[in-house]
């Protein structure tokens, strides 16, 4: 109560806030401080005083858990894609040899099919002997170029260049996001990117014939209940952009009935009549500007297609019109009138205006049943009208700027998860019992947030992601083997003191001391091997033991991958299903607590405990099992949104390390100083694609990217 002489300024001094900082805090009621955290849950874990649970923190929990889940999905799909492509190519060959035409007529199409699919298959582990000898050298040459990930090249077998396809940008084969650091996922990234890049143009018989052969007898997926393996991401991201394999007409008659034309080329010509000229929504190939009066090209097929999210389409149209791109456009598209008012004339056009006014009638602008559409509902909820019972500062311009930063930082994290699948556009000091904290007072956001969690859980369950997987365990063991090999290599090439400071040393120490028994089958041989490694402990003995242990891990991994060892979920509390269930429960309870908070009702003891334990709950959901006090420095995210080949630059968005967030929350006649976490948002035009680690390292350099001008007023010292 006020008469208890609580003074928030006294508390502010313990946080290191200067007199000038306090003046700004009193005027604005919130401010972002200079202190950085490694993870967003840190200020909520054993806090000094009341906390403020931000939408930033809640969204970060969602994004971390969703990315963990999506990574698991990609691990499983990597092996499935290899099998799928091999089955597809075998079926294509079987179709070809049954065609009632001379082999010389369809041979170029068969060769093209192997060249188009072969590099991806080789990256996924298919033997070179799988392909006809004449194409092997070309396939191997492509694999080398893909691994180099440099320059623009038009392969001989895709020439000559046309206005709508000049070359392949091999720089885009550099693995990014969560795909970095796992050999399996890095090669899967390269393979999928390749299949997204290589066109099958309808105008060219060799390419159209190749897609006709590949699609003539598609293998069916037994793993998913969706339309097909190739289109299974539609439930997450919406409709694919561009033509893909299932969009082809059935070029060859069913059961090879006698309704063929006189030649292979005549058969293709007949099928081509079904296709109308059209252009893809988002242009992700290197191409020349469209010329007025020039005939429209037929949109090519791709074996795998990426997904054009609504903002990607708007960005493409802005680029086509010579307009600037900024994240504020994404916020404006999703309901931020404040963000729209900050846009310059050079950042607006008719398409953006129609989307902002909800007048765009195209399918891509409408909501659908995809997870990304539900995610956009959550972003829009950040800009909803304030609740009548919310504090007055929630309706101010500074809070609108904070909400915009929250939305854009969340957007970076969501696009980071979909790095490979989403298209980019080219071109405590008081005596009275204090409340333990408060929840950001936006009930519309929490309602949409709960719906997003429930929808995500249902979608992932549809992928059977909550079932234990031998492929996943095999990948974990192979990554541990790679780690052991790196440990041995570094130990022999570095001074002992520096070596003990490396992440590799710390990870192997943790593996040997705590995680060594996980995923191990029963048996005396296994126990003996584990005992040898544990007894070695560290130092030279461990260096001697690890090579044999690495080989042992790879052998166990292969047995898991082949289904020779049954997978047992020995730590179910760590499972994705357990974490998603816990997250749904947390969000639902948070929604109930906020209603009491808005009505100025006190929480009971259990509710107080829930708020006090929020940091630990966050850490668990984000994958910290028992090591909440040892956060990793891996929170920043970097994402490429658009490419400008003519300038040799790209447009990137990113988040920094979480920052401390101070809020003066009004409560029963007092203003209570609370702390929480928020994410800084960055955007810039640069020349280099960055991994998350490279971006994180750049944040402390003298030439580090600065905060956007519109956000600087939210920060102390800016």
Q: Please report where in the chains the tokens 């920043």 appear, as a residue.
A: 636
Spatial distance between the Cα atoms of 587 and 447, rounded to a whole number of angstroms: 9
Q: CA geometry: angle at 326 spanning 324 and 327, to 5°?
A: 160
Q: Determine what percent of the chain is predicted with pLDDT higher than 90.
A: 51
Q: Residue 57 and residue 64: Cα distance in Å, rounded?
A: 11
pLDDT of residue 274: 80
Mean pLDDT of 319-335: 90
In 3D, which of 495, 429, 566, 546 has the Cα closest to residue 13?
Answer: 429
Tell me the pLDDT band of 258, cut-offs 50, 70 and 90. Answer: low
Distance CA 18, CA 661 (A): 15
Answer for the pair 414, 63: CB distance below 8 angstroms, yes or no.
Answer: yes
- The predicted structure's pLDDT at residue 190: 96
Distances (CA, A) of 613 to 16, 580, 626: 25, 18, 14
Residue 222 CB burial class (10 angstroms; 0-12, 13-18, ≥19): exposed
| 156-165, 199-208, 250-259: least confident range | 250-259
**pLDDT confidence tier of residue 178, bands split at 50, 70 and 90:** very high
Q: What is the pLDDT, as a whole number, of residue 388?
A: 92
Q: Per residue in 505-542, pLDDT tens? A: 888 888 887 778 888 888 888 888 888 888 877 678 88
The pLDDT of residue 226 is 34
Q: How large is the average pLDDT for residues 655-679? A: 92
Check whether 257 has a pLDDT greater than 80: no
Contact present, 292 and 218 (Cβ < 8 Å)? no
Helices 55-98, 470-493: inter-axial angle, 10-degree rounding: 110
Helix (H) or strand (E) holding 112: helix 103-123
CA distances from 296 to 246, 293, 617, 713 (A): 23, 9, 55, 48
pLDDT at position 20 is: 92
User: Residues 445, 449, 450, 454: what is their CA dihedral angle, to the nearest 10 degrees?
Assistant: 150
Phi, psi of 674 (to 5 degrees): -120, 160
What is the distance between the alpha carbons of residues 498 and 506, in angstroms, rounded to a whole number? Answer: 12
- Provide the 10 A C-beta neighbour count for residue 585: 12
What is the per-residue pLDDT for 451?
Answer: 95
Band of pLDDT at residue 265, cut at 50, 70 and 90: very high
User: For residue 245, what pLDDT band results from cuts at 50, 70 and 90?
Assistant: confident
Q: What is the mean pLDDT of the chain?
A: 87
Sign of CA dihedral 227, 228, 231, 237: positive
| Residue of higher predicted confidence among 155 and 503 | 155
Alpha-carbon distance values, 567 to 217, 218, 414, 560 (Å): 33, 30, 31, 7
Tokens of 628: 């909440």
Once rounded to an integer, what is the mean pLDDT over residues 338-346?
A: 92
Task: Tell me the pLDDT band of 465, cut-offs 50, 70 and 90.
Answer: confident
pLDDT at 426: 66
Is the pLDDT at 291 greater than 60? The verdict is no
Average pLDDT over residues 290-318: 77
* Measured CA angle at 192 (ends 471, 305), to 5 deg: 125
In contact, 505 and 487? CB cutoff 8 Å? yes
**630-651 residue pLDDT tens:** 788 899 999 999 988 888 899 9
Q: What is the DSSP letter of 515?
A: I
Measuring CA to CA, which residue among 193, 299, 308 is closest to residue 239?
308
Q: Is the pTM of this model over 0.85?
A: yes
Q: What is the pLDDT of residues 408-447, one digit of tens each?
A: 999 999 999 999 888 777 663 333 456 788 999 999 999 9
pLDDT at 558 over 70: yes
User: Which range (64-68, 394-398, 457-461, 467-471) has the least confidence?
Assistant: 467-471
The neighbouring-strand residues paired with 709 are none
- Model confidence at 290, pLDDT cuts 50, 70, 90, reads low
- Give the pLDDT band (50/70/90) at residue 53: very high
Does residue 430 contact residue 357 with C-beta atoms inside 8 Å?
no
Average pLDDT over residues 473-495: 90
pLDDT > 70: what percent of the chain?
90
Which among 714, 638, 660, 150 has a CA at the least distance from the CA of 415? 638
| CB contact at 8 A, 249 and 190 | no
pLDDT reported for residue 296 = 63
Q: In angstroms, rounded to a whole number, what is the distance separating the alpha carbons of residues 508 and 219?
A: 42
Question: Is the confidence at residue 222, as pLDDT, over 60?
Answer: no
């Amino acid at each position: 109560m006020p008469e208890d002489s609580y003074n928030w300024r006294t508390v502010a001094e313990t946080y290191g806030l200067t007199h000038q900082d306090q003046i700004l805090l009193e005027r604005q009621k919130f401010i972002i401080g200079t202190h950085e955290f490694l993870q967003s849950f840190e200020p909520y874990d054993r806090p000094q005083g009341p906390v403020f649970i931000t939408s930033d923190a809640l969204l970060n929990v969602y994004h971390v858990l969703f990315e963990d889940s999506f990574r698991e999905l990609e691990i499983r799909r990597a092996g499935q894609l290899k099998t799928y492509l091999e089955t597809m190519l075998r079926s294509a060959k079987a179709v070809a040899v049954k065609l009632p035409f001379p082999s010389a007529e369809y041979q170029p199409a068969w060769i093209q099919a192997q060249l188009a699919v072969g590099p991806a298959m080789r990256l996924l582990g298919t033997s070179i002997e799988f392909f006809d000898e004449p194409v092997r050298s070309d396939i191997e040459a492509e694999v080398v170029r893909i691994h180099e990930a440099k320059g623009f090249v038009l392969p001989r077998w895709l020439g000559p260049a046309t206005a709508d396809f000049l070359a392949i940008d091999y720089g885009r084969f550099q693995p990014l996001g969560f795909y970095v650091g796992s050999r399996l996922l890095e090669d899967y990234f390269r393979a999928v990117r390749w299949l997204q890049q290589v066109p099958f143009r309808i105008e060219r018989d060799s390419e159209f014939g190749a897609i006709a052969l590949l699609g003539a007898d598609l293998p069916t997926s037994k793993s998913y209940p969706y339309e097909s393996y190739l289109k299974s991401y539609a439930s997450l991201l919406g409709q694919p952009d561009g033509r893909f394999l299932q969009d082809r007409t059935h070029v060859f008659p069913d059961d090879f009935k006698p309704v063929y034309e006189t030649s292979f080329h005549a058969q293709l010509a007949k099928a081509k009549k079904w296709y109308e000229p059209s252009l893809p929504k988002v242009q992700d190939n290197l191409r020349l500007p469209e010329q007025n009066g020039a005939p429209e090209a037929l949109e090519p097929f791709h074996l795998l297609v990426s997904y054009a999210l609504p903002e990607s389409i708007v960005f493409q149209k802005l680029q086509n019109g010579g307009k600037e791109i900024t994240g504020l456009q994404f916020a404006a598209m999703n309901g931020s009138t404040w963000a729209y008012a900050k846009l310059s004339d050079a950042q607006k056009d008719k398409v953006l205006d129609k989307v902002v006014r909800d007048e765009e009638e195209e399918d891509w602008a409408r909501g659908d049943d995809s997870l990304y559409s539900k995610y956009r509902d959550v972003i829009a909820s950040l800009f909803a009208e304030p609740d009548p019972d919310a504090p007055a500062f929630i309706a101010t311009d500074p809070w609108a700027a904070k909400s915009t930063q929250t939305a854009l930082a969340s957007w970076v994290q969501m696009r980071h998860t979909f790095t490979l699948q989403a298209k980019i556009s080219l071109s405590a000091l008081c005596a009275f019992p204090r409340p333990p904290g408060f929840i950001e007072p936006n009930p519309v956001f929490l309602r949409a947030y709960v719906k997003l969690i429930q929808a995500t859980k249902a979608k992932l369950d549809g992928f059977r992601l909550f079932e234990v997987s031998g492929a996943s365990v095999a990948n974990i063991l192979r990554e541990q083997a790679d780690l052991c090999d790196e440990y041995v290599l570094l130990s022999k090439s570095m001074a002992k003191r520096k070596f003990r400071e490396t992440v590799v040393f710390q990870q192997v120490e943790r593996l040997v001391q705590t995680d060594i028994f996980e995923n191990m089958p029963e048996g005396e041989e296994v126990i003996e091997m584990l005992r040898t490694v544990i007894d070695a402990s560290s130092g030279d003995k461990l260096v001697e033991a690890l090579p044999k242990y690495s080989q042992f891990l790879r052998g166990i991994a292969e047995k898991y991958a082949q289904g020779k060892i049954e997978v047992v979920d020995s730590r179910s509390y760590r499972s994705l299903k357990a974490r998603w269930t816990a997250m749904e429960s947390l969000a639902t309870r948070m929604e109930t607590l906020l209603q009491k908070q808005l009505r100025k009702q006190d929480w009971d003891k259990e509710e107080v405990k829930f708020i006090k334990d929020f940091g630990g709950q966050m850490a668990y959901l984000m994958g910290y099992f028992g090591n909440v006090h040892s956060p990793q420095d891996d929170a920043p995210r970097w994402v490429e949104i658009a490419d400008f080949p003519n300038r040799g630059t790209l447009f990137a968005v990113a988040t920094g390390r979480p920052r401390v967030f101070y809020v003066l929350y009004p409560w029963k006649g007092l203003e209570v100083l609370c702390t929480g976490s928020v994410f800084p948002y960055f955007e810039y035009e640069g020349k280099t694609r960055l991994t998350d680690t490279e971006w994180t390292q750049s944040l402390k350099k003298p030439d580090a990217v600065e905060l956007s001008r519109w956000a600087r007023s939210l920060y102390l010292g800016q």
